[in-house]
């Protein structure tokens, strides 16, 4: 309430259990739920730190996996990408271009990333009559305007707008390895951006970034390890969300008297 004050608070109706024993039992149950949530939050944070440490060692060559040796190549990013494909926006004045069957991705979707969905969808006519391109699933997409250094990979074909670029690697670069490279070096890429109101990076500048390139088998092994860590973190986050939902349900039942403990 924007004008919350003591008088308003005094008149709030509160459901109070008749005995302190019942109040304490409710508080204990909810405290146990809080403790579990806190433990899961700490575990998720620890796993994220472990992954960050693994990226720091594996993506820089500081730590080599068993069976791999030899110097890594250090080409520029543009030298290991076959092509960079941009996008566009269908005319907003044509309703026939919008609300179709093709997910149309912008930088806004990076913040609410869903590997099979987008905030807006366009029609085949919208795709055909714009500068947008249909990007095959499994392709890495990054931003050159806002959210610099961020990268995503969709599980479905998507169209993209003009602020994004799809990167199609050459045979010596594994897409999943490139994805984790962007995760680790994202902050450095962001710092290369310029602009007084909206930060952006020119494609030639993106292409000039040095890229540490192990052999394909080593890239695959590194990406597999980091993917497994992502899977573990995602499972913990799902469990955390479930426990938070359970606690919310407990409060709804216990603090209203719908369920009695004693």
pLDDT tens profile 229-255: 999 999 999 999 999 999 999 999 999
Report the pLDDT value the prediction gives residue 198, as an integer from 0 to 100: 84
Q: Which residue has the tokens 């479905």?
A: 156
Going from the N-terminus, what domains does the chain have, and what CATH number goes with each?
19-70+214-262 (1.10.287.1120), 77-209 (3.90.220.20)
Report the pLDDT value the prediction gives residue 194, as an integer from 0 to 100: 87
Report the pLDDT value the prediction gives residue 39, as an integer from 0 to 100: 98
Residues 156-208: pLDDT tens digits? 999 999 999 999 999 999 999 999 999 999 999 999 998 877 889 999 999 99
Confidence of residue 1 (pLDDT cuts 50, 70, 90): confident
Report the pLDDT value the prediction gives residue 2, as an integer from 0 to 100: 79
Residue 262 confidence (pLDDT) above 80 = no
Tokens of 235: 């499972």
Distance between CA 18 and CA 56 in Å, rounded? 57
- Residue 167 burial (C-beta neighbours within 10 Å; 0-12, 13-18, 19+): buried
Instruction: Calculate ∠ Cα 178-181-187, nearest 5°.
Output: 135
């Amino acid at each position: 309430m924007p004008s919350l004050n003591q008088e308003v608070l005094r008149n709030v109706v509160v459901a109070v259990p008749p005995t302190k024993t019942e109040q304490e039992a409710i508080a204990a149950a909810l405290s146990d739920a809080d403790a579990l949530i806190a433990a899961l939050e700490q575990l998720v944070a620890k796993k994220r730190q472990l992954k960050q440490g693994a990226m720091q060692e594996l993506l820089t060559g500081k730590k080599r996996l068993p069976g791999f040796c030899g110097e890594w190549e250090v080409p520029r990013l543009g030298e290991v990408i076959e092509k960079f494909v941009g996008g566009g926006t269908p005319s907003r004045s044509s309703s026939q271009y919008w609300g179709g069957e093709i997910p149309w991705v912008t930088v806004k979707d990076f913040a609410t990333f869903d590997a099979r969905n987008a905030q807006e969808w366009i029609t085949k006519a919208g795709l055909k009559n714009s500068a947008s391109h249909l990007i095959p699933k499994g392709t890495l997409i990054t931003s050159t305007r806002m959210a610099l250094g961020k990268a995503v990979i969709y599980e479905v074909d998507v169209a993209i707008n003009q602020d994004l670029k799809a990167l199609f690697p050459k045979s010596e670069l594994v897409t999943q390895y490139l994805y984790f490279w962007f995760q680790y070096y994202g902050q450095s890429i962001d710092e290369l951006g310029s602009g007084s109101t909206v930060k952006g990076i020119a494609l030639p500048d993106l292409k000039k970034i040095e890229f540490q390139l192990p052999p394909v088998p080593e890239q695959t092994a590194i990406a597999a390890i980091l993917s497994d860590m992502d899977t573990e973190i995602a499972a913990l986050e799902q469990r955390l969300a479930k426990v938070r939902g359970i606690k919310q349900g407990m409060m709804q039942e216990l603090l209203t008297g719908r369920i009695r403990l004693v």
